[in-house]
Structure 1
Amino acid sequence: MSEIGIPGARIRSFVERIEHLDGELAELNEQKKEVFAEAKGEGFDVKILKEIIKLRKQDQDERDEHETLLDTYLRAMDAAESESAAKTPERKAA
């Protein structure tokens, strides 16, 4: 009954390789945290560094599209706030 037609040694090989890679990923993530901590210790804003990394991963077209949408949304929001303020009568101070 030990022979079930599944290559157990091959499965074990895949599992062990994946476990090894998971260990390497954990180590790399720890190193990344250390670099961010070092940057923060020198006064750099970690959120901004992460944003730069994200932007560098995008191609120029993606980046341009993102900036255009962001600008469009911000202008639309500002316009809505201006309209709302214009419709609201100012209160007189007592």
Structure 2
Amino acid sequence: MAEESVAAEQLRLFIERIERLEEEKKGISDDIKDVYAEAKSNGYDVKTMRKIVALRRQEAHARQEADALLETYRTALGLH
């Protein structure tokens, strides 16, 4: 019986930690939205900014590979 109560307590603590982290994540997400809204109100294109953030998240070799593939496709479709 003691093992069950210890396991239940441990489970409760895990759940509470997850709930706190989810709340922090929501707060950070809201902060990011606010920054994008501020950038937009200052005339920046948010869609392009999101792409830049995604590109900066990639490693250099992955970004270069994606750029090369995009260029190949653009050339093949006459979009160059």
**How high is the TM-score relative to the length of structure 2?**
0.89
Is 1:29 the counterpart of 2:25? The answer is no
% identity of equivalent residues: 38
Aligned residues: 77
Question: What displacement does 1:4 show?
Answer: 8.6
Question: What displacement does 1:39 show?
Answer: 0.2
CA distance in 2, matches of 1:5, 1:74: 63
Question: What displacement does 1:76 show?
Answer: 1.0
User: Can you give the 5+ residue segments of structure 2 that lack an aligned partner in the other structure?
Assistant: none
- The superposition leaves residues 49-90 of structure 1 with CA deviations (integer Å, 9 ceiling, x where unpaired) of 1111111111111111001000101111129xxxxxxxxxxx
Q: Of the two, which has the highest radius of gyration?
A: 1
Map of 2:12 onto structure 1: 12
Map of 1:75 onto structure 2: 75
CA distance in 2, matches of 1:59, 1:31: 25
Aligned residue identity for 1:73: Y
Q: 1 or 2, which has the higher helix percentage?
A: 2
Runs of 4+ in 1 over 4 A off after TM superposition: none
User: Can you give the 5+ residue segments of structure 1 that lack an aligned partner in the other structure?
Assistant: 80-94
